[in-house]
Structure 1
Amino acid sequence: MVTLYPGPIKVGGVRLKNHLLLAAGILGTTGASLARVLANGAGGVVTKSIGPGPNPGHPGPCLVVVDGGIINAMGLPNPSAAFADELAVLAGEPVIVSIFGGTPEEFRTVAGWFSGKASGFELNLSCPHAAGYGAAIGSDPALVEECTKAVTALGVPTWVKLTPNVADIGGIGAAAERGGADAVVAVNTVKAMRISTALRRPVLGNRFGGLSGKAIFPIAVRCVYDLYEACSIPVIGCGGVSTADNIVEMMMAGASAVEIGSAVVDDIGIFSTIANDLYSHDGIDAREIVGCAHG
């Protein structure tokens, strides 16, 4: 397997300790949990998505483990502006705040709470199970462009997380780039559900959810590949990553950095485990392989 030379990098305007980031929604609800992930080898962390008002989320059950992954329908629970207090213990660390809103104005308002407190923003334009938010906006190129513009106007590095549940993810990525995005992140969860045959009803309280985990890795690779072709800004891979070889494959598809989410559920030390396999002092510069599969 290809190994990479270790050291800090800069992607999408954000300086990271390495190429591995914690994805939004996993252990991102407190400053302490984010600090723990950084201490366990992550090069940067993305918080839980924060929105314009406190939200308890969907009724349970909110998560079901399935073959090859997890289906969740959390419903974007968050403490809203109060989350800013959690960032105090992370001063100077590479922390990306994930934000969401229902309009460009709401995105700008939420981003304003964290301006000067975060290394960057990740716009959640991709959650598949929150009415009026996420993918409901992220499937419309015009809205993606406007929401991105509203946040990039603050002058803070801005990444846009995209949904795979669209016909042309490249077109959505191009819209984010027109809006001034510094990077695009691919992808969020894939629409999914399970039904209990014993109860004759959907397993999740929200009925529908989003699938993450190893099962969606090939989907994520294809999306990264398409976005590398469509955009000139960096692509950050996300979806089903669990090994160093997965990281290399994502990079060959076009990713400049990679987020890890569901794999953390099984192993909080996954970042150190992957880094030990991925990095070597006789490794190559990662730029040699980013996008190399495009020939």
Structure 2
Amino acid sequence: MLRTVIGGLSISNPLMNASGVLSNTPGLWRRLYESGAGAIVTKSVGLTEREPYPGPNVVEIECGLLNAMGLPNPGVEILCEELKAFKMENPDIIVIVSVFGANADEFTRVASSVEEAGADAIELNLSCPHAKGYGAEIGSNPKTVKEVVSNVKSVVKVPVFPKLTPNVTSIVEIADAALSGGADGIVAINSVKGIRINVELMRPVLGNVYGGYTGIGILPIGIRAVWDIYEEFECDIIGVGGIESYKHVLEYILAGAKAVQIGTALYKRGLHLFREIKDSLEKWLQEHNINELNDIIGLSHRR
């Protein structure tokens, strides 16, 4: 009833964690799966180890979170060791590895390594809003996006999903570049760039000043991005941003997404949210006499 296929990758249900949310270690990957996730998305990994930005890194605000971690990671060699061991013990758990780089060559080298280690698919982080020289600074240029995607696709066989930034004039233009480069699907969206100020200290709340805003407040932004991309291309899409309930998942599916990722709500409410949403989706489909969730993908466009 909930099974879906995204970019050729078959998963038991459309629910995933968003990269970086409760996904730093193989132990957490296992917990995500046991809690009901259809696929696991790792924290973004690069060629070499990176330390986090000076804190504060994550601040709770009225309608979500503001974070600037700085793409901390142990480096691809250590991640690959962990992934190989994990996949040997858990071959049926779908693991999508999020990768980043400063240029197409770095993306390609990291992607090739994680595929060899057992990644079932690769998410290209072209959208982190606060890491200088990475993420959105690369993902805002259509030419560079196409180059990164095409280079990665030339060396890997697993599905490749670029994750796009909403912090651009036209996300459709960026999606077009990614698809032209051979992307198997699009992930939309990453966090929205923002700043908050502590009025008592009279300085920004984050150590990095700028951060990525996530939570219920970006739900309409994410749905609009999915709607616009699907309207233009009818491609495979993973919807991300602001999901807190099964109704939010349904909105993304009706807008054109085949799967979704959940971040802030998992962070705030816990992993049991996966099971709650799965059960509610199945109940809703039964009540509406709909056999498969796939039957309503993009249905709201038929007007």
Secondary structure, in 3 states, of the residue corresponding to 1:122? strand
Q: Which has the higher helix share?
A: 2
Alignment of 1:274 with 2:288, yes or no, is no
CA RMSD of aligned residues (A): 1.2
After TM superposition, which residue ranges in structure 1, 4 or more long, deviate above 6 angstroms? none
Range with bigger deviation, 218-227 or 148-157: 148-157
Q: How many percent of aligned residue pairs carry the same amino acid? A: 43
Q: What residue is the counterpart of 1:18 in the other structure?
A: 13
CA distance in 1, matches of 2:200, 2:22: 32
Q: What residue is the counterpart of 1:56 in the other structure?
A: 51
The match for 1:89 among 86, 94, 97 is 86
The match for 1:170 among 172, 176, 179 is 172
Q: How many residue pairs align between the two structures?
A: 290
Q: What residue is the counterpart of 1:134 in the other structure?
A: 135
CA distance in 2, matches of 1:193, 1:260: 22
- In the TM superposition, what are the counterparts of 1:222-237 in structure 2 within 5 Å? 222-237=224-239
Contact 1:58 1:206 survives alignment (8 Å): yes
CA distance in 2, matches of 1:118, 1:279: 29
Contact 1:192 1:208 survives alignment (8 Å): yes
Secondary structure, in 3 states, of the residue corresponding to 2:258? strand
Structure 1 spans left out of the alignment, 5+ residues: none
CA distance in 2, matches of 1:232, 1:274: 25
Aligned-residue offset at 1:289: 1.3
The match for 1:211 among 213, 220, 235 is 213
Structure 2 spans left out of the alignment, 5+ residues: none
Q: What residue is the counterpart of 1:124 in the other structure?
A: 125
CA deviation digits over 1:226-245, x for unaligned, max 9? 11022242011000101111
CA distance in 1, matches of 2:8, 2:49: 29
Aligned-residue offset at 1:100: 0.3
Contact 2:129 2:136 survives alignment (8 Å): yes
Aligned-residue offset at 1:284: 2.7
The match for 1:43 among 16, 29, 38 is 38
* Structure 2 length-normalised TM: 0.93
Aligned-residue offset at 1:97: 0.1
CA distance in 2, matches of 1:125, 1:231: 20
* Structure 1 length-normalised TM: 0.96
Contact 2:234 2:256 survives alignment (8 Å): no
Q: What residue is the counterpart of 1:101 in the other structure?
A: 101
Range with bigger deviation, 191-200 or 284-293: 284-293
CA deviation digits over 1:27-50, x for unaligned, max 9? 111111011010000000110000
Matched letter for residue 280 of structure 2: D
